[in-house]
């Protein structure tokens, strides 16, 4: 029951809908399949930077608009709808879109090594891993509420930002400059500040078990994200719709397993992050993008739903903005 309550609160609390990132990313990658973007993967230099910017902007706007649309549909709704069913339908739709996009590619370019759906065991063997990681993380989500209440959990979820940065460094072996690390800590502090409310201080009473579980969950989620990036980028020439298709398949499979075990709609919401961002940008860009989307969502909600923004929100937004700036100016010297 406690879990249900939290889920509902999250659905209405637009500002905190960070977990919603994944479906949007998938939708982004699916819809883009019909555009020319999907074939631009090999372009370098300025074009690559431009593509990265467009993809990042698109992800930010889509994440933000998705959160807003969900709240809107719930408020305007004449009849109840199940989040589980809605998410499952979206998943299936996207899997279908991947296939349609693939079909068009086959018609125009013919079936090649890079865009054929069939796959080797070597290639496909890594695809279930992110899905399994998310499943374990979401199973843990049931148990953490024995130690942590909902407002505190909202705050602890921001540990994801730090875990993503650390695992990005360790697993993908990509360097962030010292200033970019500073920016990343600021991003985490800024997002948390923006979400502060009178109940947030509960997090300070979190027992050690709660902290451990929160950290493990952050690591699982960060690992899943970074691992997905590694899979997608390992073979840059591979058609992204094929990659998405296989990730969706395993995601849906483990979701079904989880739903059978428990009433498990959260899995669908987290899902697997497969996206243009993963292929042409990275996990770091994803984290920034979704953080800015959270702020954008809150600002738009002021006009649409009459939300009141707190001083903490403005302070957090300032810190996040400076963090975005520092991330961009603080590029490692070697890359220049």
Chain residues binding its own copies by CB under 8 A are: 155, 178-179, 182, 185-186, 189-190, 192-193, 196, 198, 200-201, 203-204, 309-312, 315-316, 318-319, 322, 325-326, 329-330
Residue closer to its own copies (CB basis): 116 or 331: 331
Residue closer to its own copies (CB basis): 278 or 319: 319
Q: Please work out, in degrees rounded to the nearest 5, the angle formed at the alpha carbon of residue 286 by the alpha carbons of 186 and 255.
A: 120
Phi, psi of 157 (to 5 degrees): -60, -25
Residue closer to its own copies (CB basis): 253 or 329: 329
Q: Are 102 and 245 in contact (CB under 8 A)?
A: yes
Residue closer to its own copies (CB basis): 169 or 202: 202
Phi, psi of 149 (to 5 degrees): -90, 175
Name the token pair of 184.
Answer: 């990343």
CB of 302 to its own copies, least distance (A): 12
CB of 310 to its own copies, least distance (A): 6
Name the token pair of 147.
Answer: 């130690």
Q: Could you identify the residue written with the tokens 């360097």?
A: 175
CB of 306 to its own copies, least distance (A): 15
Name the token pair of 153.
Answer: 């959990």
Residue closer to its own copies (CB basis): 133 or 196: 196
Q: Are 325 and 93 in contact (CB under 8 A)?
A: no
Residue closer to its own copies (CB basis): 148 or 242: 148
d(CA 126, CA 230): 10
Eight-state DSSP code of residue 145: T
CB of 180 to its own copies, least distance (A): 11
Rounded to the nearest 10 degrees, the angle between the axes of helix 283-305 and helix 208-234 is 110
Contacts of 253 (CB under 8 A, 6+ apart): 128, 131
CB of 186 to its own copies, least distance (A): 6
Residue closer to its own copies (CB basis): 6 or 155: 155
CB of 13 to its own copies, least distance (A): 17
d(CA 155, CA 291): 14
CB of 187 to its own copies, least distance (A): 10
């Amino acid at each position: 029951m406690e879990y249900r309550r939290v889920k509902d609160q999250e659905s209405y609390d637009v500002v905190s809908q960070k977990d919603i990132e994944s479906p949007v990313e998938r939708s982004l990658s699916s819809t883009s399949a019909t555009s020319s973007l999907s074939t631009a993967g090999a372009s370098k230099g300025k074009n690559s930077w431009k593509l990265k910017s467009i993809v990042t902007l698109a992800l930010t706007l889509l994440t933000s608009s998705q959160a807003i649309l969900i709240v809107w549909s719930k408020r305007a709704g004449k009849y109840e709808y199940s989040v589980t069913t809605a998410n499952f339908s979206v998943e299936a739709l996207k899997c279908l879109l991947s296939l349609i996009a693939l079909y068009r590619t086959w018609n125009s370019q013919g079936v090649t090594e890079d865009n054929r759906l069939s796959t080797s065991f070597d290639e496909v063997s890594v695809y279930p891993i992110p899905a399994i990681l998310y499943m374990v993380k979401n199973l843990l989500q049931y148990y953490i509420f024995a130690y942590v209440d909902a407002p505190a959990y909202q705050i602890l979820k921001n540990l994801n930002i730090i875990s993503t940065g650390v695992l990005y460094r360790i697993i993908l072996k990509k360097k962030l400059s010292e200033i970019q690390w500073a920016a990343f800590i600021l991003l985490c502090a800024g997002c948390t500040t923006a979400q502060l409310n009178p109940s947030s201080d509960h997090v300070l009473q979190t027992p050690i078990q709660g902290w451990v579980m929160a950290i493990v969950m952050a690591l699982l989620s960060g690992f899943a994200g970074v691992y997905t990036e590694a899979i997608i980028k390992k073979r840059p020439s591979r058609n992204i719709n094929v990659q998405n298709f296989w990730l969706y398949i395993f995601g849906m499979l483990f979701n079904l397993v989880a739903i059978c075990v428990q009433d498990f709609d959260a899995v669908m919401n987290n899902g697997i992050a497969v996206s243009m961002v993963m292929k042409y940008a990275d996990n770091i860009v994803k984290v920034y993008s979704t953080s800015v989307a959270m702020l954008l969502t809150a600002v738009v909600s002021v006009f649409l739903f009459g939300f009141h923004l707190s001083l903490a929100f403005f302070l957090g937004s300032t810190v996040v903005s400076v963090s975005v700036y520092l991330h961009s100016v603080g590029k490692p010297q070697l890359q220049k």
